[in-house]
Structure 1
Amino acid sequence: MPEEKVTGPASYFPSIEKKYGQPISHWMAELEAVSDLKHMDQVAFLKEKFGMGHGHANALVGWYRQHHRP
């Protein structure tokens, strides 16, 4: 059975982990700390605090907001 191709925000996860040296769980915890912020403010937080690129930050925030919010 062929492997299912990962699409959407999760498709960025391997490159995010490689580039920034932290597992995705680390970034989810960072976003949990600013969970009261709006989407783009969370993106700005990752970009400003960690020097993350917009695409990577947006993918993490998108995934977080889909899977870790009530």
Structure 2
Amino acid sequence: MTDAVKGPASYFPSIEKKYGRPVAEWKELVRSSPLTQHMELVSWLKTEHGMGHGHANALVAHTLAEGK
């Protein structure tokens, strides 16, 4: 029996399905952005890529946490 994915990563399957790109590609976009602040990146994903707030927030949180 495997544990269910929790936290920001639990959004990844629906992000891939809804926005048509693999999560690795989204993470690379976040990393390559000149923006560095969490909410700046969330706003950028929402305005430039049409992502919903929850999906953008989860993606940014997970990506930034990897850098720590």
CA 35–9 in structure 1, closer or farther in 2 if over 3 Å, else same: farther
Question: What is the CA-CA distance between 1:35 and the residue it aligns to?
Answer: 5.5
Q: Once the two structures are aligned, what percentage of the paired residues are identical?
A: 49
Runs of 4+ in 1 over 6 A off after TM superposition: none
CA distance in 2, matches of 1:39, 1:49: 15
- Report whether the alignment pairs 1:3 with 2:2: yes
Number of equivalences: 68
Verify: 1:12 aligned to 2:18, yes or no.
no
Is the partner of 1:52 in helix, strand or coil?
coil
The TM-score, its normalising length taken from structure 1, stands at 0.90
Structure 2 match to 1:48: 47
Indicate the SS of the match to 1:58.
Answer: helix
| RMSD value, Cα | 1.2
Structure 2 unaligned residues grouped into runs of 5+ = none
Please list every run of 5 or more consecutive structure 1 residues that lacks an aligned counterpart in the other structure: none
